[in-house]
Amino acid sequence: MYSGFSIDRSPNPLKGIFQIIGEEPEWITYDRWGTVLPEGRFAAKIGPEEFGDVLKKYGGDGAEEEFAALMKRMEPLSNAAQALTSLAIREDVGALLTLGRYP
């Protein structure tokens, strides 16, 4: 799955390569994931808001609360992953220069 290409500050490393070489392909965006569960196949809208409906239908008792707790717990990791591009990560002293651009 390739995602994150259509936004400017993307965590996707391939998007960074396209930006470096000055290419901006025409991206096809979508708003649903094809989802397959034992209960059947369906198109789930992307994003945590509408995923609550999926959890209500297929997740069982407490699924929404468990998912909300997981999202809250993952927020710092998500913020860190979004803040730093993989193109800045190096294994030499130059990392001080490239990583220094990011909060």
**pTM, whole model, 2 decimals?**
0.62
Give per-residue pLDDT as tens, 57-66.
888 899 989 9
Tell me how many degrees the CA angle 4-31-70 measures, rounded to the nearest 5: 70
The answer to whether residue 63 is domain-embedded is: yes
Distance CA 6, CA 27 (A): 6
Give per-residue pLDDT as tens, 39-49.
888 888 877 77
Domain range for residue 86?
48-99
Q: Are 34 and 41 in contact (CB under 8 A)?
A: yes
The answer to whether residue 26 is domain-embedded is: no
Distance CA 78, CA 15 (A): 18
The answer to whether residue 40 is domain-embedded is: no
- Given a cut of 70, the residues of the chain with pLDDT beneath it are 1-2, 103
Q: How many structural domains does the chain have?
A: 1
User: Nearest CA to 5 among 29, 34, 33?
Assistant: 29
The answer to whether residue 67 is domain-embedded is: yes
